[in-house]
Amino acid sequence: MTTSTEENYLKAIYHLSTGNQNSVLTSAIAGSLSTSSASVTDMIKKLSDKNMVEYERYRGVKITRKGEKVALSIIRRHRLWEVFLMDKLKFKWDEVHDLAEELEHVSSDEMTRRLDAYLGFPKFDPHGDPIPDTNGKVHTNGQVLLSDIIKKGKYILCGVNDHSPSFLQYLEKKGLVPGSVFSIVEMDEYDNSMQIIFSNKKSIFISKEISKNLLVRNHE
């Protein structure tokens, strides 16, 4: 039995772990959950007792396979609910996160399976993040940061790294949502900004600040 507090910690630890081999530091978890380091230390001990994380005092934690499985099942539920809120209840992509944060803790494997089926087995959530499958496998599809792109060409936006409503609203206003196809027409060597153009000929500037948070894939 995991409480929703434990689930939130595991999710945070999982997210802080991905793409980085090192231990996750107490302060990082505290920052991510807006809580005190003292509280984090307490919870870490509890999760360590349950073999959800490996804990070394003063050195941080590493999530275990067991902890990771729990985290992935929460993330799966979170993202499925986000799809539901957007596709069925017509919320906008910048509005779904907070509600999903609550819904993800309603735990029933059977309900999750049925929700998945009802939504048509979606593979990505409204922000372009992959939805882990029943076994906790995450299917990513070679997406890369727009800021890492070095050659001009046609790309498709598949996701974002900054999930804040303000950023999402900004993108939407610019016409950038998951699935948007555009071509890079100009890349500035000096400030790493770029100019892109949509199929409808509308063209916009993208600063490094922005492109660092955009996940794209080559589009044929």
Which residues face 89 on adjacent strands? none
When the beta carbons of 131 and 184 are compared against Mn ion, the nearer one is 131
Burial class (CB in 10 A: 0-12, 13-18, 19+), 57: exposed
When the beta carbons of 90 and 151 are compared against a second copy, the nearer one is 90
Closest approach of a second copy to the CB of residue 78, in Å: 13
162 binds Mn ion (CB under 5 A): no
- Rounded Cα distance, 106 and 88, in Å: 19
When the beta carbons of 57 and 65 are compared against DNA, the nearer one is 57
| Beta-carbon contacts of residue 181 (< 8 Å; ≥ 6 apart) | 154, 155, 156, 157, 198, 199, 219
Q: What 8-state DSSP symbol labels residue 95?
A: T
127 binds Mn ion (CB under 5 A): yes
When the beta carbons of 33 and 103 are compared against DNA, the nearer one is 33
Q: 103 is written with which tokens?
A: 């819904």
Per-residue interface string for the shown chain with DNA, residues 60-99, x marking contact by CB under 7 A: x---------------------------------------
- Rounded Cα distance, 138 and 130, in Å: 6
Among 125, 143, 171, 211, interactor with Mn ion by CB under 5 A: 125
- Provide DSSP, 112-142: HHHHHHHTT--SB-TTSPBPP-TT-------
* Cα 70 to the center of its chain, rounded Å: 16
199 binds a second copy (CB under 8 A): no
- Rounded Cα distance, 151 and 144, in Å: 13
Reduced to 3 states (helix: H, G, I; strand: E, B; else coil), residue 181 is: strand
Per-residue interface string for the shown chain with a second copy, residues 72-91, x marking contact by CB under 8 A: -------------x--xxxx
The footprint of DNA on residues 11-50 (CB under 7 A) is 25-27, 30, 34-46
Reduced to 3 states (helix: H, G, I; strand: E, B; else coil), residue 168 is: helix
Per-residue interface string for the shown chain with a second copy, residues 101-130, x marking contact by CB under 8 A: -xx--x-x--x--xx--x------------
66 binds a second copy (CB under 8 A): no
Which residues contact DNA (rule: CB under 7 A)? Answer: 3, 5-6, 25-27, 30, 34-46, 55, 57-60
Which residues contact a second copy (rule: CB under 8 A)? Answer: 85, 88-91, 99, 102-103, 106, 108, 111, 114-115, 118
